[in-house]
Amino acid sequence: MDSIEKSNLNRQFLFRSWDIGKMKSTTAAEAVKAMNPNMHVRSYVDAVSLETEHIYDDHFFDRLDGVVNALDNVNARQYIDRRCVYYQKSFIDSGKLGTKASVQVVVPFLTESYSSTNDPPDPSVPICTLRNFPHLVEHTVEWARDNFASLFTIPPQQADEFMQNPKEFAERTAKNHSEYDKTEIIENVKRILGEEHPNSFTDCIKWSRNLFEQQFHNTIAQLLYNFPRDHITSKGERFWSGNKRCPHVLKFDAHNKLHLDFIFAASNLLAHIYHIPQIRDRKLIAEEVVKVHVPEFKPKAGITIHENDEQVRADLERQKNMSAMRKNGQSANDVEVEQILSRLPKPDDVLDIKIQPHEFEKDDDTNFHMDYITATANLRAENYEIQRADRSKIKRIAGNIIPAIATTTAMVTGLVCLEVYKFVQHHKKIESYRNAFVNLALPFFGFSEPVPPKCQKYLDKDFTLWDRFEVKGEMTLEEFIEYFKREHKLVPNMVSAGMSVIYSPHFMRQTSKAQDMKRKITELYETVTKSKIPAHVRSLTLNMLCDDLEENDVEDVPFVNYTFP
């Protein structure tokens, strides 16, 4: 599903300039066949994900000897890792980040999996720094990126979900969110479908002009009202000192290119959401924006502005506790769902509104995404007298781009190939394999044996993440339970598939329990999940909580691979 970009050409020798825009997998396969006609390569263009398990199914994985990975995000790697553990396939993961690179070898029954350990999280910028006290352009870019999502992605998505199925949206909101979050979600939907709904591009310009005033004048004016330039803390120190840069408000000027850049981008982004024809004539927009009346802002007393992250966390904890007290452990009920629906627009009143949320895409220069983020980041930098950045630097920060280096790519590919040779030669000892950690900038080259899998025990048997109970052939629930009593000396007292509980005697009525014991596992699965098992699925992954035959708890047991015809 990934296409070739110009930046790929400096480090991927299978691609040429005339391949830009083509799919990577098919182009690479064609290039390899041209180099060696005797090599057989089958290319796919579908992403490997939950949605494509009908393509990458049991038959697909059964034909593989192993998997070599080169993905660009952790979630995708963890998904592939789970599939390789499930199918007991060898797996080599590799990655690079500028001058850094790593290789991890995963061998069934010999090593831990990729997901067994996690890298420490990257240090994040304190919330208060982003909200009120930035001192680096990186802070203003991150703020602009979040601001983009909070205006053009999340609220339109919520409004679109509401319009698709109002009752289901209300149930999900009631069940999954705190009172504070519910209020925010409801207000988002009301704004998108009512208060802020533009009818013309002129309305989009008005909205953008007011947004400029709110973000770069009013918010800063309120901050300076709470903490004046000469404000002294309770410790007798100057509040605006050190990394706390005292801001100043911006007064809109239609002749200022940066100010007009913001209006130009924001207006077109809003127009896109509502399917209003966009206008790319800057002169026309400049003529319209000066006609917009903006109400005078007066700072308010009693507005709380957090000075540090401790205050933010305390406030969030207070909101969480209040929400818990209101909810009192109850799940969403019909009354709560109806209350939420009553606060939202009536579905019949918004039938004609079509919503199109933005999904951030940094590499499309025509979608106004980077135009908005560049203008917003630099305007906020101007608020705080931080040196502005050019578009390319802001794009690198917003897209978290670290330039790829051909040397790193070549080196990590070579290290992966060395481990592939060991797979092909069927090495069975863990000491034969090597994980690699490299930083060419230092330079540092580190190699280590893979870590063996964590060993657990049930009854007197050891097991690891690679082990499972194999149950082949359809069984009734009663037969399933008797099988584990007889073969494994275990008494299942809960059987689940994903988030769905198939069997739990403590929560079943006696009448339904007697009926369910005679039903097949697949029937029960379809009943509790309210969905048919897809035709390509030949097995279910079941998890169990068990006692031993003396009714003592058994802490952990392997999962069940339940295979049916």
H, E, C per residue of 100-117: EEEEEEECCCCCCCHHHC
The tokens for 310 are 């401790």
User: What is the DSSP secondary structure assignment for residue 22, as one 8-state letter?
Assistant: S
pLDDT band at 282 (very low <50, low <70, confident <90, very high): very high
Closest CA to 470 of 340, 558, 398: 558
Count of alpha carbons within 13 angstroms of residue 453, beta-carbon side: 20
Concatenated DSSP letters of 268-307: HHHHHHTTPPP---HHHHHHHHTT---PPP---TT----S
Pinpoint the residues of the chain covered by CATH 1.10.10.2660: 135-243+254-385
* Buried residues in 29-50 as b, exposed as e (16+ CB within 10 A): bebeeeeeeeeeeeeeeeebee
Average pLDDT over the chain, rounded to whole? 89
Beta bridge partner(s), residue 496:
501, 543
CATH class of the domain at 6-121+404-448? alpha beta
pLDDT in tens, 477-513: 999 999 999 999 999 999 999 888 899 887 766 557 7
Query: Is the pLDDT assigned to residue 330 strictly greater than 50?
Result: no
Write out the H or E segment, with its range, that includes residue 541. Answer: strand 539-548
- CATH for the stretch 135-243+254-385: 1.10.10.2660
Give the pLDDT of residue 343: 73
Query: Is the pLDDT assigned to residue 112 strictly greater than 50?
Result: yes
Pinpoint the residues of the chain covered by CATH 3.40.50.720: 6-121+404-448
Average pLDDT over residues 154-179: 83
Higher pLDDT, 72 or 440: 440
Q: Kindly report the number of other CB atoms within 10 A of residue 465's CB atom.
A: 18
Q: What is the spatial distance between Cα 170 and Cα 414, in angstroms, rounded to a whole number?
A: 53
Give the pLDDT of residue 326: 47
pLDDT band at 143 (very low <50, low <70, confident <90, very high): very high
Reply yes or no on whether 546 is catalytic: no
C-alpha angle 317-322-328 in degrees, rounded to nearest 5 = 120
Contact present, 360 and 369 (Cβ < 8 Å): yes
Query: Is the pLDDT assigned to residue 322 strictly greater than 80?
Result: no
Q: What is the spatial distance between Cα 450 and Cα 288, in angstroms, rounded to a whole number?
A: 64
% the chain with pLDDT above 90: 62
Higher pLDDT, 382 or 181: 382
pLDDT band at 182 (very low <50, low <70, confident <90, very high): confident
| 3-class SS of residue 346 | coil
pLDDT band at 328 (very low <50, low <70, confident <90, very high): very low
pLDDT band at 353 (very low <50, low <70, confident <90, very high): confident
> Residue 308: which residues within 8 A CB-CB, separation 6 or more?
126, 128
Q: Is the preceding omega at residue 443 within 30 degrees of 0, hence cis? A: yes
pLDDT band at 337 (very low <50, low <70, confident <90, very high): low
Q: At what angle do helices 369-383 and 257-273 cross, to 10 degrees?
A: 140
Query: Is the pLDDT assigned to residue 325 strictly greater than 60?
Result: no
Query: Is the pLDDT assigned to residue 329 strictly greater than 50?
Result: no
pTM (predicted TM-score): 0.68
Higher pLDDT, 12 or 448: 448
Higher pLDDT, 122 or 311: 311
Pinpoint the residues of the chain covered by CATH 3.10.290.60: 468-563
Specify the fold of 468-563: 3.10.290
Phi-psi region for residue 380, left (φ > 0), alpha (ψ -120 to 50) or beta? alpha
Query: Is the pLDDT assigned to residue 162 strictly greater than 70?
Result: yes
Give the pLDDT of residue 212: 98
- Please identify which of the residues 84, 128, 204, 246 carries the catalytic annotation: 128
pLDDT band at 130 (very low <50, low <70, confident <90, very high): confident
